Structure 1
Amino acid sequence: MKIKNLLPGLLILFSPFAFAHPGHWGNHGFESGILHPLTGVDHLSVMISVGVLAALFGGRSRWQMPLSFIALMIVGGILGVSGLIVPGVELCIAFSVVAMGVLLWRSVQISHQWVVALVMIFAVFHGMAHGEEMPLNTQALEYFSGFVISTSLLHMTGMAIGVTVLRLSVSGRLVKLLGAVVALLGGSFLLS
């Protein structure tokens, strides 16, 4: 076997997309639910970005975006657990990372209603991935409780980042930089 034939296979194994959903640590419901959003860079980046956007928009968005995300993520989780097969869930999740980066880049220049609608759509796909990857012999309520708590903490982390960025005099540049990093990360998922 030639090295040049082995290299593409090794690159695929080490791509960020391959690690987006590796099976996750923990083999019990609550533990697995808590760890699922924390061990996938795609989930981390989107859920923190939702919190940042919520802080940037302020007002009712501060709670509307995160709570809408969580509610629709639960719906997606139920769809995933029920065995509904939707092709391209991982592709949609990768696209959601790119889109969240673009939304951060554009920040409040986009309509609040459009941003909330996109956040809700993305939440369904993230929830489906959570539900599809629920460990066997796990109680759904425990698992869902875990990933809802974890997601809430990630949203609050994003909100804290957003509030901090707003206090800095160069906040516009920082948000654009954060958006660019998130979009590039999502792009690497799409190219993998």
Structure 2
Amino acid sequence: MDYKNRIAKILFLIGIGEMVAGLILAFVFGTVDVGYYTTRYEVSWGIFFLIFASAFVGGMILIGFAELIERQTETNQLLKQSLGLSNKQFGATDNTESKMEGEPKLIDTKGKIDWDLEAEDTLKIHDYFFKEKKRYVNEIIATPYPYKFIVIAGNKEHLIKIDRENTNQVLELNLLDYPEVKDWLDGFEEGL
């Protein structure tokens, strides 16, 4: 087996080792002296199968745990690929410290929006900034203007729109082209 996870590889090897050792020990302890006047050995099949079955079951349990760990590692890799994240953003499996600046938080606009805010919106915005701009999102502020967000990334404010009518993609807009949003943002920041 070609395991990518070290723990899975170690558990697999221990499981195989346990089964091999169980086979050897089954022969050693299952062989009994049955000779009265001469030394004559025979295998006691009951003892042999008892010892070997115990080792086989224990080894298979360890191999099963190794498979579970390997499948979880593969699932994590696929999830990271689909989100476009590296080990540092996803939660490194190699016990290194992650330097991600924290999860982007959605700032509550105190009920001032009258359009549906979907959970995927924040994920799309986060993915857009990480893939396109190589930046982390610090804050996401939903504006009262439909599907428009103020995103603070890298200490800079960005105006983002989710194009729900056509492509359902993240579009970056120029904040200066939307003075009403800029005015709302200034008033919102003063109210915080």
Whichever structure has more strand as a proportion of its residues is 2
- Taking CA–CA contacts closer than 8 Å with sequence separation of 6 or more, which of the two structures ends up with the larger relative contact order? 1
Q: TM-score range by the shorter chain?
A: under 0.3
TM-score by length of 2: 0.21
Which of 1 and 2 has greater Rg?
A: 2
Whichever structure has more helix as a proportion of its residues is 1
TM-score by length of 1: 0.21
